[in-house]
Amino acid sequence: MSLDERSRPRTPRPYPATGGPDPVLRDRAVDGLRALALLAVPTGHWLVGGFVRDADSSLHNASPLSSFAPLAPITWVLQMLGIFFLVGGYASVLSFRRAAERGATPGDWLRGRLARLLRPAVGVTAVWAVLAAVLYAAGVPVTTLHTAATLVVQPLWFVGVYAMVTALTPYCMAASRRLGGWAAAPLAAVIAVMDFLRYGPFADSIPYWVTLISLIPGWMFGYQLGVSWGEKRLGRRGAWLLFAGGTALFALLLLVFHYPASLVGVPGHDRTNSHPPSLLVIALAAAQSGAAILLRDRIADLLRRPALWAPVTAVNRSAMTILCWHQTAMLAIAVPASFVGTTVQGLTTAPDFPTWMATRLPWLPLFAVTLVLIARVARRLETPWTGVSRGRRVCAGALAVGFAAFALRLTLV
């Protein structure tokens, strides 16, 4: 059975992307959704990720979610990875088809996609391997460097997961052709079973590593929906079902099964919805995906306006740079501020009071400007490393692996 319907929504007219002598035709709605999901990542981290300054000027991670539970609904809006994976699956189908038409093999296609994903991740970790040593020599406390390392690698788990999901694209396409939109249902079923094992009567006897089985199916759910959408096996009827069913399941899990209200991990809480993803994340991804498909034509029409389309293209051109460097932008402001003689409101003050958010908001534009300045240089890491010798590439890889191992060890301790 398929979730598609006889009356397809009109296919939005593709528009040329800005820049380049031979522009690629773009789907404005899909690009707009991708940009929205991308911008939600730094916005979320900058809003619910704070610092506490100690007497020795060192910085510790802190979150207002730990002390002010009513902020949790903010994560329902800013947790948009379901949308990101949805448009990723949709775009992968189109890209895979274009590569096949050019005579490229699936392996060639995958190598190209992975290179675009991994270059910026290797770049940011290699730079930070050197930067951490420089900061240590300059007198930055070790605790601050530990905090920075944890924050820098925090978004990079996405790169690994997205790479693995991308490698499964041909299988997702085959599943979609066989099952239509229902191809994502078995993935949701796996998460339901894992949640039962994690929090049901056998929870005490289940090792933590078993729960990591949820990692790939949980984030692949949205990607599979995107593949079915790209294969034209998911239409408006299926979108309505996703939106209504996802919303109902979300409410049921919160009100009846008492899932944590926050979609992201909260320091000090044993139970989390995001690492690995729980059924609540699946419910939100379903509702978001349904809404995105239903609003596709309206979004495309809205983005006909040059004033809106221009920032969308800018964000998409620097997608991986935004993902990899937004924590560095925040640290570039917070670390120097930690050496000021007193705490700085909204920046190095403990986020343990409701009004902290009001003092935090004015810092967001400064973080954004800093990220733009960093991106002007770091965006070069997204392009092919032509002209870079093999020795330098090996050196960058070694630095990246070393820094990532160091940061992950801190995260797991």
Please state, in angstroms and rounded to a whole number, the distance separating the CA atoms of residues 29 and 13: 10
> Residue 72, class by beta-carbon neighbours within 10 Å (0-12 exposed, 13-18 middle, 19+ buried)?
middle
In order of 41, 48, 66, 82, the CA distances from 69 in angstroms are: 20, 12, 7, 23
Q: How high is the pLDDT of residue 266?
A: 76
In 231-378, which ranges are continuous DSSP H helix?
Answer: 236-255, 279-294, 296-302, 306-317, 319-337, 356-360, 364-378
Domain coordinates in residue numbering, the chain:
26-48+63-412
Q: How high is the pLDDT of residue 411?
A: 63
Mean pLDDT in consecutive groups of 10 residues from the start of the chain, 413 residues: 46 42 66 96 90 89 83 90 95 94 93 91 93 93 92 88 95 95 96 92 83 91 97 95 97 94 79 89 97 96 94 93 95 92 87 85 96 92 81 88 80 58
User: Contact, 42 vs 367, CB < 8 A?
Assistant: yes
Q: From the CB of residue 359, how many other CB atoms can be counted at a distance below 10 Å?
A: 15
Please state, in angstroms and rounded to a whole number, the distance separating the CA atoms of residues 152 and 146: 10
Beta-bridge partners for 15: 26
DSSP result, 189-246: HHHHHHHHHHHSTTGGGS-HHHHGGGHHHHHHHHHHHHHHHHTT-B-HHHHHHHHHHH
Q: How high is the pLDDT of residue 412?
A: 58
Q: How high is the pLDDT of residue 12?
A: 47
Residues in Cβ contact with 369 at an 8 Å cutoff, skipping those fewer than 6 apart: none
Residue with tokens 């274009």: 98
Please state, in angstroms and rounded to a whole number, the distance separating the CA atoms of residues 222 and 90: 10
Tokens of 269: 């809480």
Q: How high is the pLDDT of residue 187?
A: 97
User: Contact, 229 vs 199, CB < 8 A?
Assistant: no
Query: 0.75 cut: is pTM over it?
Result: yes
